[in-house]
Amino acid sequence: MALLGVTLDAGYADLLRAYAVMLDGKKIGELKNGESKTFHISPCAHSISMKIDWCGSKTLQFQSIETEPTAYKVSSNLGGIKLLFGFWYILFNQSSYLATERSQT
């Protein structure tokens, strides 16, 4: 089995809500504000994205390897002044509401 680590950045935009971790289009867990989780996945090609209600992140492709854990960091794009543009993300850019990026394990 390979390991997938996902960390949700602490922020105030969705402070009381959980983000769904989507692996290959299926929900494998949830993360709350500032939380980190590790998932056991098969060593092969996968896609990862995050969802919250009808919004989420872009889907990223990766190859998991048994000997090397894969890690991602997730954050809301509604930090600082961008908080004022929340409705724009919700109405017109749902797949950019959250930012998912590869991180060091």
Residue by residue, DSSP assigns the chain as -EEEEEEEPP-STTTT--EEEEETTEEEEEE-TT-EEEEEE-SSEEEEEEEETTEE---EEEE-BTTB-EEEEEEES--GGGGGGHHHHHHH-GGGSEEEEEE--
Determine, yes or no, domain membership for 105.
Answer: no
Residue 11 has pLDDT above 80, yes or no: no
Determine, yes or no, domain membership for 77.
Answer: yes
Instruction: Specify the higher pLDDT residue, 103 or 86.
Output: 103
The answer to pTM > 0.75 is yes
Residue 4 has pLDDT above 90, yes or no: yes
Q: How many domains does the chain have?
A: 1
* Span 26-83, pLDDT tens digits: 999 999 999 999 999 999 999 999 998 888 899 999 999 999 999 999 988 766 555 5
Q: What is residue 6's predicted lDDT score, i.e. its pLDDT? A: 97
CATH number for 8:
2.60.40.1120
Determine, yes or no, domain membership for 8.
Answer: yes
Residue numbers of the domain that contains 42: 2-100
Residue 95 has pLDDT above 90, yes or no: no
